[in-house]
Amino acid sequence: MTSLAFILLLAFLPAESARSKYPPKSSISSPVFGPQQVYGLLNGSITVTCFYPPTRVNRHDRKYWCKESTRGCSTITSTNGYTAPGYQGRASITDNPQEENFQISISELTMADAGTYQCGIGINSRKLYHRVNLDVSQGSHIPEGAELFYVKLHSTLTMTCNFGSEYESTRKFLCKMDKNGCVNIIDSYGKVDEDYIGRTLLSNTKAPGSFSIMITQMSWEDSGLYLCGVGVYGQNGETKELDVHVYEETSIPQGKPTIFGVKGSSATFECHYKPLKHSSVNYWCKWRQNGCYRIIDNSGYVSDLYEGRVAMYDNPDNQTITIILNQLKDSDEGYYWCMTDEEEEQKSSTELKIVEGEPALQGKKDVEAQEGSQLNLTCLYPCRYYSYQKYWCKWNSASCTPLPASDQRQPGPDVTCDTDDKTVILSFDSVAKSDQGWYWCGVKRNGLYGETMAVYLSVTAGGSAGRSLEVLDADVPSPPEGDFTPQGRANSAASESPNQSGPNTLLLVLAPVGAVLLIIATAFAVFKYRQIKRSDLVSVGSYRTNISMSDFESVKDYGASNNACVKETQETRIGGDEFVTATATPESAAETKKAKRPARRHPFLSSTPLAPCWEPQG
């Protein structure tokens, strides 16, 4: 009964993942790495390659190959030029600092050459070494040794396996060895170990029966012995050993493994790379269990599903490629890969997680304008972006081309920034059909791209169709305050009123109103007639207005101080060569003194200086 309970307990324990089978960094004794087992034939030859971290000290330090015994590790050959007796002429060592390895070659193998060796750096047996077992046999065939992979921490590992055309349609897989067998990492049926989701990819290559496996964001726990194969491990098919060692090197910075994006906003990804000798295609794709869906590349390709949403910027100064994805939605969650067609290690993966929230950049996302009209696209930004560089750009498949600021005086749309209202405005003096498309509003800081907002502009042909006030709101004045209603609208509303009475009722209502209006109109006409009798018609430029002569007379008593002395006759300059002579009568002067009312300044006279005057002396 106790045994049964123990078995049931083991059944419910969580399965150990492939990643936990390998010891952590602290248990790795040496960064020098090479094959664990080498096979050679009698009278034949072997070549052993050992890798080391490419530090300045390691590149110039002594490399050696020694054989272990009870008395220590005796040097066979070293880069200092030494070769032990019995190995002269058949053992050599070559350092390849550019390739970060050194090679040992031994020819004319004897049975005495079998044993345990060390390939190392510096002084013998001082931790910087790797142990290699050499087996010499007399047969005609030797087992194939494991293929070695020496991989930088956080970089990408690419492995290729070929088993021939007879296995073209057979299941393909990669598994990692442990004490209990081989744990599946990924296979061609879409099964992926939980620790490798989003960062491993299996894809067929051109040769029938061959395939490649890529693993990004390599960690210390990814070191170990792997098997790539066809069929089912331990049952049928074939396998090949892949020996992987991870080491640390920080010359290439790594991007964030996880990015959080607000729904409706944007996310920015960075791909780091080293300049390549030959031009290559850099592309960005979304990981899937059966492949990586290409979204954009630096040759101008953009997937139709991402039109107007994604842009790629190459920054050769800091050796990065920046990708911006906007209009984020829930389906965008997943893993995205930076890829290149040449350098295998220059690949990386980043996870994108979508969270709820409010985008910081706000504005209308879909705008329609008539051809030939004026238009302002407005982008509102929050206080935290006050010190950021703001821009508008027009999207195309190659990139998003920034539009010039208004002070650069170039034809076409220009950009202005109102820091008081916290808006960035893209202005079109006259919208053209070619202006139709996607526009992005965005922010930058220290050369790094930040949040963006996408707007689609639709341009319609000009005609009698009414123009959208919402689209042209920046160029249309606000309606006047109050309860003013246009006459046409009021008439329309009256004609549509359902409460209509007969003609007699209408006459009874309108007759008193008409009488009152007639009395008011008569009184107003009399008042205007008297006013015109006492005023002259004055022409000012293209305007004509009635100005009362009493306004001129009141200046003498109530005008500004620099015009305080005004005679009964004066000349006032109105136009270019136009003078108006005003003569005050004793009657009007008397009326002015009796009224004692304040002077009224006419809008045309407020900017018209009066002729200087003076009082006679003595």
Comparison of pLDDT for 267 and 25, the residue scoring more:
267
**334 strand-pairing partners:** 352
Mean pLDDT of all residues belonging to the chain = 74
Comparison of pLDDT for 465 and 430, the residue scoring more:
430
Instruction: Please count the CA atoms within 13 angstroms of the CA of 554 that sit on its side-chain side.
Output: 17
User: What are the phi and psi torsion angles at 262 (to 5°)?
Assistant: -80, 135
In the DSSP assignment, the letter for residue 327 is S
Give me the pLDDT at residue 412, please.
Answer: 65
Q: How confident is the model at residue 274 (pLDDT cuts 50, 70, 90)?
A: low
Reference 53, options 142, 114, 128, 159; nearest CA is: 128
- The first and second tokens of residue 188, run together, are 């061609």
Q: How confident is the model at residue 505 (pLDDT cuts 50, 70, 90)?
A: low
Give me the pLDDT at residue 276, please.
Answer: 53
Counting every residue written for the chain, the total comes to 618
- The first and second tokens of residue 249, run together, are 């090197």
Average pLDDT in the 155-178 region? 90
Q: Is it the case that residue 80 has pLDDT exceeding 50?
A: yes
pLDDT tens track for 396-428:
887 888 888 755 445 567 677 767 778 989 999
Give me the pLDDT at residue 564, please.
Answer: 37
**134 strand-pairing partners:** 38, 115
> Which of the listed ranges 20-34, 96-110, 247-261 does the model predict with the highest average pLDDT?
96-110
- Span of 43-57, 253-267, 317-331, 350-364 with lowest mean pLDDT: 253-267
Q: Is it the case that residue 85 has pLDDT exceeding 90?
A: yes
Q: In whole angstroms, give the CA distance from residue 40 to residue 143.
A: 9
Average pLDDT in the 271-279 region? 63
**312 strand-pairing partners:** 323
pLDDT tens track for 345-384:
557 788 899 999 999 999 999 999 999 999 999 999 998 8
| DSSP result, 145-172 | PPEEEEEETTS-EEEEEE--GGGTTS-E
- Span of 29-38, 108-117, 161-170, 467-476 with lowest mean pLDDT: 467-476
Cβ neighbours around 411 below 10 Å, total: 7
Give me the pLDDT at residue 174, please.
Answer: 94
Reference 284, options 248, 227, 324; nearest CA is: 324
Give me the pLDDT at residue 255, please.
Answer: 53
Q: In whole angstroms, give the CA distance from residue 33 to residue 129.
A: 8
Give me the pLDDT at residue 261, please.
Answer: 92
Comparison of pLDDT for 385 and 249, the residue scoring more:
385
pTM attached to this predicted model: 0.52
With contact defined as beta carbons under 8 Å apart, do 309 and 400 qualify? no
Q: Is it the case that residue 563 has pLDDT exceeding 60?
A: no
Give me the pLDDT at residue 73, please.
Answer: 93
Q: At which residue do the structure tokens 């005003």 appear?
A: 582
Give me the pLDDT at residue 108, please.
Answer: 93
Q: Is it the case that residue 442 has pLDDT exceeding 80?
A: yes
With contact defined as beta carbons under 8 Å apart, do 430 and 333 qualify? no
**586-595 and 549-558 are packed helices; what angle lies between their axes, rounded to 10 degrees?**
60
- Span of 164-168, 331-335, 396-400, 474-478 with lowest mean pLDDT: 474-478
Cβ neighbours around 495 below 10 Å, total: 8
**Share above pLDDT 90 across residues of the chain, in percent, rounded to a whole number:** 32
Give me the pLDDT at residue 340, please.
Answer: 78
With contact defined as beta carbons under 8 Å apart, do 319 and 275 qualify? yes
Average pLDDT in the 561-585 region? 38
Q: Is it the case that residue 211 has pLDDT exceeding 60?
A: yes
Give me the pLDDT at residue 506, please.
Answer: 59
Average pLDDT in the 38-62 region? 87
The CA-based angle 553-554-556, given to 5 degrees, is 80
Comparison of pLDDT for 314 and 593, the residue scoring more:
314
